[in-house]
A and B are shown apart, each in its own frame.
Chain A
Amino acid sequence: TQLLEQSPQFLSIQEGENLTVYCNSSSVFSSLQWYRQEPGEGPVLLVTVVTGGEVKKLKRLTFQFGDARKDSSLHITAAQPGDTGLYLCAGEAGNMLTFGGGTRLMVKP
């Protein structure tokens, strides 16, 4: 069974602070995806990383895939209240996505 561990599980910060969310596994994935989920909605894809060591930027969000393709991180610069939500990482292997448990982020104004 492939497991993805996300940390931290909960994060409450003030507007303007920086934060990093981690996604770790002992398994190798062909790709890794980051999603954001709002209450009562389905996950929305933010980014897909495929190559070991790959870094992708999406405005204030920076995503990195580990060299061995076993782990990933999401860094948010100058967080805003609109960033509040549940962030999920998911590793692709075979026919399925294996999801981490999620990081619930709250950004206070």
Chain B
Amino acid sequence: NAGVMQNPRHLVRRRGQEARLRCSPMKGHSHVYWYRQLPEEGLKFMVYLQKENIIDESGMPKERFSAEFPKEGPSILRIQQVVRGDSAAYFCASSRNSDTEAFFGQGTRLTVV
């Protein structure tokens, strides 16, 4: 039973480029959460999605960031026109229901140069 799969594990982008981070939830899980972790810090909530719906995006920056979880395929976190401050580890977690335990992927480490 595969866990939460994130890819790529490492991503390097130049300032101004776009970054696309993918997350495939565990089998049977329809709830996906994205978190960002800056070096030496805890995780900060970004967005909570169910299939085809954004439930809570209160942690998402107002500009350049978007997320989707289509009916088919992985959840995508998209960052347009990246800046150096976007460099961080981005973690995805999935759960079966909104009140069940969430399991984390291994993260995507984004470096903006």
Q: Which residues of A contact B (CB under 8 A)?
A: 6, 33, 35, 40-45, 48, 88, 90, 94-102
Contacts and interface: CB of A to CB of B under 8 A. Distances in A.
B: interface residue count bin: 20 to 34
A42 B91 contact: yes
What is the predominant secondary structure among interface residues of chain B facing chain A?
Answer: strand
Interface in B45-82: 45, 48, 55-56, 58-59
Given A43-B91, A102-B42, A97 B102 contact: yes
Interface string B1-39: 000101000000000000000000000000001010000
Contact of A42 (B45, B48, B101, B107): B107
B101 A43 contact: no
A51 B47 CA distance: 27
Contacts of B106: 40-42
15 contacts: A35-B104, A40-B106, A41-B107, A42-B106, A44-B104, A45-B102, A88-B42, A94-B56, A95-B55, A96-B33, A96-B56, A99-B43, A99-B44, A100-B42, A101-B42
